[in-house]
Amino acid sequence: MRIRRSLIDLDDLTAEELAAIFGRTAAFERSAPGPKLGGHTCVNMFFEESTRTFTSFNMAELRLGANVVNLAPRNLSLSSKGETLEDTAITLSAMGIDVLVVRHPEAGFPARIAQSFDGHVINAGDGVHAHPTQALLDIYTLIEEFGDVRGRNVAIVGDILHSRVAHSAIRGLQRLGASVVLVGPESFLPDTYAGGAVSVERNFDAVLPAVDAIVLLRIQRERFVEMPLSDEQYVAQYRLDRRRLDLLRKEAIVMHPGPYNRGMELDDSVLEFAGWRYARQVHHGVGVRMAVLDLLVNARST
């Protein structure tokens, strides 16, 4: 069996491929690319609920002319008949499936299925491990805003411990020369995250005057047995509100991978802020995922 290129995390991409994805994203957003995946079949396997990622992968595949199958967990023998993950991968390979887009609550699940699948696997989020395409579209949003992320200061704020988006974004931003400051309470952000161009800060107010961009994260309550601090404590120390917005530099922007929770990590003043870029992030999701699909399936050199 010939195992083809997959995207499990950003480490799977060279610097040249990162640049190629961003270039293709810009081109695809300017004009329709034609049926670059004509004759290819993509299967979306989402074991967790999703709005943005699921919909944007569907749109990306359809715009590239692929045949698209959405395979719900209840339709898999994997869950009801005792079929192994490896046997599922072999079955889908034998059907001629070219791409599996996989989202799963277990860290490492997409990597495991990629070992037995004779096609391309794209990680659409696995546990608290990684979410590479979300990180790519977040970085692309920063590039659109500033031209380059090299030398820029980016603050990631909130439940970083449980954020697969943050884990992938940290890797990507470091590789591209940005400085990253992680902000949050110790229960969400161990000191061990610091190193190299990544620093840890507990005082949110202290970082605001120096950052170019803030990436807010939601508290992933579903991953805690017991919440380590109260909502009131979190809001007082880490919610972005009008007072904290006033501490930002004029050109700074605010981002969020979604879904965002009004009243917790942000209040309504953020949604009215001129630098609020959530909609741009969502917009870029389709173009970035088109670019990733095109790069993997068509395997052109950069």
User: For each successive 10 residues of the chain (302 residues), what is the average pLDDT?
Assistant: 81 94 97 94 95 97 97 72 82 94 96 94 97 98 97 97 96 96 95 95 98 95 77 96 98 96 96 98 98 90 37
Looking at residue 79, what is its pLDDT? Answer: 58
Structure tokens at 98: 């070219």
DSSP annotation of 169 reads: H
**Residue 289 to residue 62: CA distance in whole angstroms:** 11
Looking at residue 302, what is its pLDDT? Answer: 37
- pLDDT tens, 119-142? 999 999 999 999 999 999 999 999
Residue 196: left (phi > 0), alpha (psi -120 to 50), or beta?
left
Residue 130: CB atoms within 10 A of its CB come to: 28
DSSP annotation of 162 reads: T
The end-to-end CA distance of the chain, in Å, is: 26
DSSP annotation of 3 reads: P
Looking at residue 301, what is its pLDDT? Answer: 37
Give me the amino acid identity at 147: G
**Residue 234 to residue 291: CA distance in whole angstroms:** 38
In the three-class reduction of DSSP (H, G, I as helix; E, B as strand; rest coil), residue 222 is classed as: helix
DSSP annotation of 4 reads: P
